[in-house]
Every structure is written in C-alpha cells, then in structure tokens.
Structure 1
C-alpha cells in the first residue's frame, strides 16, 4: 500500500511541486556566492573567470567597516535587551498566569503582525516627539521591538516545558520567587536564552525597513548595501558581502536551533 502511494501520480506531482518551489526559492540565493567569484562586473553566464578581488574590496572598504561596526553594536545591544524583556514577559505569562501578564505577552507579539513600514513610521514620529530623532539609540529601540516577538515565543515555549514540580519543590524548601527564577528556572532555560539572543541578533542585523526610517548619519550594514546597489560597479562587491553574511547567518541560525533543541531535551 505504501509503495502504491509513493508511486501515485498525486504523490509524484507533489514532489515535483516541492522541487520547483525549493529551486525557485533557493537557487537565486545559491547563485550569489557563485557570482561573487566571477571576474566580471555583470552577474551573467558564462563566468569569465574566478577571482578573490571582490572579497578584497570588501575588506578594504572603510565605509563598509563602519557600517558593519554599527550593525554589530546595534545588533548585540538590541538582542540583549530583547532577550531580557522576552525572558521577563514569558516568565510572567507562564508562571504568573495573571491577566495582565497574558495581555503583555500578546502586545509583545504584535510587531510580528504589523507591517514593518507602519512600525518604522510610528517609531520615527515617536523619536522625533521624544527629541531623540533618527540616531543609533533610535535604531536600537526599533530593533528591540522587532526582535521581541521571537524572544517571547522561544522563551515561552521553553518555560512551558519545565515541569511545574521543579519550581514548586524549590518553593516548598523555602525559596522565594526571585531565588526560584535565578537558581532553578534560568539555569534550566540557558540554551533557550542563548537561542533567543542569537535569533534576536540575526533579526536586528538583517533588518532594513525600521533602520531606514530611524538611521541618522550612521547607516547599518543593510542600508550600506542598499546604497551601493545604485552603482553597477559595486554589484560584485555587494554579492561578495552578501555571501559572507549568508554564511554567517546560516552558522548563527544553526547554532540557535541546536541550543533550542538542547534546551528541549533537557
């Protein structure tokens, strides 16, 4: 019966659809590293030759290094703040079980449902009213808002998998709420916290729309890439940079998933 099902026309059509979908989605991404070694400005076949000049151009570009430093600082700060807020909100939602905590968790998850351009415009109005204006602190605040839903979802899933008997046993032994959180819940959730931090960093590092509205005189790396796309001669360097970002993103996302699964197994 299983053999007949695998050989049925419907199953073959489904596999063909999946193959076409994956090729449409990932083949252009796979071409970026290939053309980053092409010894020509145009991204087209046939490949003229192989070269590392575009990667050397990435390393020698001072404006790029400045944008990278800005993105790293913004990403690390935003990820740390989003993870801290996510841990607090998720803990209140799972272990507090108060209506206010549930409402706060729902509000924290709303940015993932609101279009980024709406969030960018709203934050631009807010920072102007606050007197901050487009600046690096404004970008950090916007990226905290963008990374918060992921942190809340990751930490809420981890907290829900912790048996209630563990913190209850600590409370029976005389531990207060803060001690239970610090000595019991957080150590059990350490892999999930690391996963939430990494995903928050990736969200901030790759985010463009909010940074577009809130950036002042210090552009982030996505804004630098966007500015270079206007110049055809910069396209090979952009593809080399995109290849490096793609490799780093795969490594960080894979590490985050490994930490998340490790936390689930614990």
Structure 2
C-alpha cells in the first residue's frame, strides 16, 4: 500500500529540487565573495548588492518597471473586474467562447506576441516607449485578472445586491457597498499578481521598449560583461525574493477571502 505513495513522494521531491535548485543556487552565488560562479564558495559578502543598487541606470530601470507594473496592474484589474462582473452576473450567449478568446494571450508564445505587437504598432506610427510596454503587458495580464476575479465572484449571492436595490440604493452604491467588499480580496490578489507578471516580464518589454529600460532588460544588457555577473546575480536574487513574496501574499489574500476570514 505504501509503495505508490513512496514513489510519488520521491517524484515530488525530485520535481521540487529540479524546480527550485537553480533559484537557490542563484541566491547562494549572489553573496559569494568571488566574481565567478563556481564551487567552492570563497566567502560571503553583500558587496554585489550595494554595487548593483548604486548604478543610475539600474535605478532608472527599476523605477520604470515599478511605474509600468503599477499602471498595468490597475488597468488590467479594472478591465478584468468588468469582464468578471459581466460573465458571472449575466447569462451571455457564447460565454465559453468569450472565455477562450480572452485566454488566447496566455497560450500564444510571447516571442510571437511581441513581434506581432511590434509590427502593428510600427505600422500605426506609434513610438515605442513605456506606454507600449504597458499595452503589451495589459494584453497578457487581463486573463490572469479575469480568472482570479471570477473565482471570487462566482460564489457571490446576487440576492444581496437585489435586496440593496429594493431598499433604494443606486446601482453604483450597491456595487460600492455590497459587491466591492466581497470582491476586494480578489481585487488585491489580482493587483499583486498582475504587477508581478509585468515587473518580471522580459520578451514583450524587449520588443516594445524602444530606447527605454526596464529592470529585466537592464539585467539582460549586463550579461554581456563578465565582470558585471555578480551584480546581475544580486539583482536577479532580489527579483526572485520579491516575486515569491508578492505571489505568496496574493494567494494568501485570495484564499483568506474565499474562507471569509479577515486579512
């Protein structure tokens, strides 16, 4: 009886090691005192973090990534909330088809999507900038926002809204006082997840950035210089930790909201 489970356990451990070992090694080498990536570790230092944070271009790229990520999170969450409201509230003909259509950006390779958007924007005469990066990121984050918010709104008792309307509330105040508090955990989770996806995304930003820098593009540009490798590892380590924390927080908020707990 225990053999299948023991085999499954070995497979699970092996899979987790395969998945997370590169990230753990990256964290380890980011504090290595040597400028090359190799064992044995010569010592531990945070010098590479200090040097990485001291570069003006890096700080500019970080600021650009934060601004783009924040704008993308707000826009995609607002659009995702509207779509989730429509798909969960009303019986729309072809709702499944609409869901499949909205999910297409998740299955199209980012390389193809980036080239397609670049061609379209170039033909339209749009100058490549942080705005075009944000546009590309909104395309791939709306489906994520939609799925998160739909999972939150699908179990919502619509009779509560109807009762509020019967008592004289306007539709806007009903949404603000009744629907919004229920959807809030999903909204916060959507904001965190879409911000994380935009902040970490490289391929679309690479095609649509023009002469602008985001943090992933800056890291890629530094890989051409072997002497900059420790700083790159330090920046990548900070991104990994920040991404893990944001995703963990988003999932915790989403689960807490589904259980009806305060968060």
Gaps of 5+ in 2: none
> Displacement, 1:246?
1.3
CA–CA distance in structure 1, aligned partners of residues 145 and 186 of structure 2: 9
Q: Is the 8 A contact 1:89 1:105 kept in 2?
A: no
CA–CA distance in structure 2, aligned partners of residues 118 and 176 of structure 1: 45
TM-score, normalised to structure 2, is: 0.93
Q: Is the 8 A contact 2:200 2:239 kept in 1?
A: no
Aligned twin of 1:32: 26
Does residue 234 (structure 1) correspond to residue 228 (structure 2)? The answer is: yes
Gaps of 5+ in 1: none
Q: Give the counterpart of 1:86 among 80, 99, 103.
A: 80
Aligned twin of 1:20: 14
> Displacement, 1:97?
2.4
Q: Deviations over 1:205-257 (max 9, x none)?
A: 01111111101111111111111112111111111111111111121111111
CA–CA distance in structure 2, aligned partners of residues 40 and 119 of structure 1: 39
- Count of aligned pairs between the two proteins: 260
Q: Give the counterpart of 1:192 among 175, 180, 186.
A: 186
CA–CA distance in structure 2, aligned partners of residues 136 and 89 of structure 1: 25
**Range with bigger deviation, 190-199 or 47-56:** 47-56
Aligned twin of 2:196: 202
> Displacement, 1:176?
4.3
Closer, same or farther: CA 224–88 of 1 in aligned 2, 3 Å: same
Aligned twin of 1:222: 216
Aligned twin of 2:146: 152
**Range with bigger deviation, 38-47 or 91-100:** 91-100
Closer, same or farther: CA 104–181 of 1 in aligned 2, 3 Å: farther
After TM superposition, list the pairs within 5 Å mapping 1:24-103 onto structure 2: 24-99=18-93, 103=97
Aligned-CA RMSD value: 1.6
> Displacement, 1:129?
2.5
CA–CA distance in structure 2, aligned partners of residues 159 and 121 of structure 1: 35
> Displacement, 1:183?
2.2
